[in-house]
Amino acid sequence: MIATPPPQALERRIGLWSAIAVVIGSTIGSGIFRSPAGIADKLPGPLPMLMSWVAGGIFAICGALTLAEISSALPQTGGIYVFLRQGWGKVPAFVFGWSQLIMIRAASLGAIAITFAEYFWRVKNGAPASAEQAMTVRCIAAGAILLTGFFNVVGVRVGSAFTNLTVIAKYGGLLFIIIVAFVLGYPETGGHYSPAIPPGSFQLPAFGLALVSTLWAFDGWADLSYNGGEVKDPQKNLPRALIGGTLLVIAIYLLANLAYLAVLPIEEIRLSKLVAADVAQRVLGAGGVVFVSVTVMVSTFGTLNTVLLTSPRVFFAMAADGLFFKRVAAVHPQFGTPWVAISLTAFLGASFVLLRSFEQLANAFVTAFLPFYLLAVAAIFRLRGRPEYQPSFRVPLYPAVPLLFMFAVVYLLGNALVQESSRWQTIGVFAVCLTGVPLYYLTVGRKGRARRLVG
């Protein structure tokens, strides 16, 4: 089953440091700035809130370790799509690509772009946008998606260079906020770490719902795998970048939440739409708000660019396999990029952002992606039994690491179905994704049967 796919005319241009930047750039976006309020609202205690971030980090590193092994054996363009195709067959792979097309990737781009546009408006006009200006903000978000799409059509080097630049800015900006909070804020407050677990601050169902918000902030750790066919020396660099980039994100996220608590009590974090800005304002004054707003703009715009560098490769790989329109596998004659796949992804993302709110987009994205993460990680159990499977990296503590990841996904999805507040939305997202099954048999599957009969 692990046969080499048809040759793909994408050059290996992404080195180790650029690959690490892709992992960091696709992960650190709006989540670390927006998610703490929602998490603290569900878990209104310092320790429960921090436990949610620790759990999200464990989830991410277990997934990264597993996919690092699989990607070292299958360093091909398409990433998770390829892992599903090789591990479970064409139908799950097609359904994943279909779900990416109609919901997952467009929802992700839309949620990130809305955050960028909100803070672009705030910096430009000195105040948040009003309800009457919401559509203008969404148009700005759509324009940002199309602009970053253009950057990635122009070339992988341009896209990855821009990713490197914005990663330095966003990671450095977040690190600056952390240092300021501990150096200037903590001596005045003594920190707001106790009581660690106030009465009623931890319930298991609420922890599951909070973890969904945490996973939104952590998502992106696997996106480098989509560019597996463009990473130099992939057997070494893919595992190093996936693991190293994920660990760097976990470290900065945990430090950021400790820094937030060093300045603000949990009650204020619960009410803060942009906790980093409130921390900076408390410590640095009005200038701190401007600094954080610019940092969020750079962070989210850079993430848009990175997502459009990675995710269109799924549609490119599907087209190369004959599971999607052949035109989508077109490579630009001058820039050497899958320009049709990138343009399609950018157009759908811009369309979604005009129709849905941030919360709707973020929740739909996480719910739709989790089952495919589960299948991609579970593929290791099928692949390891095949003699042609020869990874250059092996998951430590196998099989505990992939099993822990899978258990977490089952818990999260089960919790979402049990909770009345999220049940019908979860069912609706699954129903949309599963429309890919009959679509496969009505299109690709039927063509395949016809060819076999003719043969």
Q: How do residues 400-429 score in pLDDT, each as one tens digit?
A: 999 999 998 898 888 878 877 778 888 888
pLDDT above 90: percentage of residues in the chain:
37
pLDDT number for residue 453: 39
If 0-12 CB within 10 Å is exposed, 13-18 middle and 19+ buried, where does residue 21 land? buried
| pLDDT tens for each residue of 86-96 | 999 999 999 99
What does the pLDDT read at residue 5?
A: 43
In this structure, of 22-36, 121-135, 192-206, 269-283, the range with the lowest mean pLDDT score is 121-135
Q: How confident is residue 455, by pLDDT bands cut at 50, 70 and 90?
A: very low
Residue with tokens 């660990």: 247
The type of residue at 228 is G
C-alpha span between 35 and 49 (Å, rounded): 11
| Residue pLDDT, tens place only, 370-388 | 899 999 999 999 999 899 9
Name the band, by pLDDT with cuts 50, 70 and 90, for residue 362: low
User: What local confidence, expressed as pLDDT, does residue 64 receive?
Assistant: 94
Residue 217 has pLDDT above 90, yes or no: no
Is 111's pLDDT higher than 70? yes
Right CATH number for 16-450 from 3.40.50.150, 1.10.620.20, 1.20.1740.10, 3.40.50.1820? 1.20.1740.10
Task: Check if the beta carbon of residue 68 is closer than 8 Å to that of residue 393.
Answer: yes
Partners of 231 in the β-ladder? 14
Share of the chain above pLDDT 70, in %: 92
Residue 447 or 187, more confident? 187
Is residue 226 predicted with pLDDT exceeding 80?
yes
294 touches 95 (CB < 8 A)? no
DSSP at 130: P
* φ, ψ at 184 (rounded to 5°): -100, -35
pLDDT exceeds 60 at position 454: no
291 vs 366, residue with greater confidence: 291
Q: Model confidence at 390, in pLDDT bands (50, 70, 90)?
A: very high
Tell me what pLDDT residue 450 has: 46
pLDDT value at residue 192: 94
Angle made by CA atoms 413, 419, 420, in degrees to the nearest 5: 130
User: What average pLDDT does this structure show over 57-78?
Assistant: 93
* Exposed/middle/buried for residue 35 (C-beta within 10 Å: 0-12, 13-18, 19+): buried
Whether 126 shows a pLDDT value over 50: the answer reads yes
Q: What angle do CA 120, 156, 16 make, to 5 degrees?
A: 100
SS3 333: coil
420 or 167, which is more confident: 167
pTM: 0.85
Cβ(410)–Cβ(119) below 8 Å = no
Number of Cβ within 10 Å of residue 157's Cβ equals: 15
Mean pLDDT of 289-298: 84
CB 233 within 8 Å of CB 55: no
**Widest Cα–Cα separation across the chain:** 79
Across residues 340-364, what is the average pLDDT?
Answer: 79
pLDDT of residue 156: 65
What confidence score (pLDDT) does residue 8 get?
47
How far is 351 from 345, CA to CA, in rounded Å? 10
Q: Is the pLDDT of residue 435 over 70?
A: yes
Alpha-carbon Rg for the chain in angstroms: 21
Q: How far are the Cα atoms of 54, 158, 370 from residue 197, in angstroms, in the given order?
A: 16, 48, 29
Task: Give the whole-angstrom CA distance, residue 128 versus residue 142.
Answer: 18
Instruction: Report d(CA 118, CA 203) in Å as an integer.
Output: 33
More confident residue, 1 or 219: 219
For residue range 8-41, list pLDDT tens digits in order: 456 788 889 889 988 998 888 777 887 898 899 9
Q: Round to whole Å and give the CA distance between 10 and 87.
A: 24
Amino acid (one-letter) located at 189: T
Per-residue pLDDT, averaged over 221-230, amounts to 87
pLDDT score recorded for residue 443: 82
Token pair 């979604």: residue: 352
> What are the structural domain ranges in the chain?
16-450
pLDDT value of position 359: 63
Per-residue pLDDT, 222? 87
Q: Which residue has the higher pLDDT, 161 or 344?
A: 344
pLDDT score, position 358: 64
Q: Is residue 405 a contact partner of residue 371, using CB atoms and an 8 Å limit? A: no
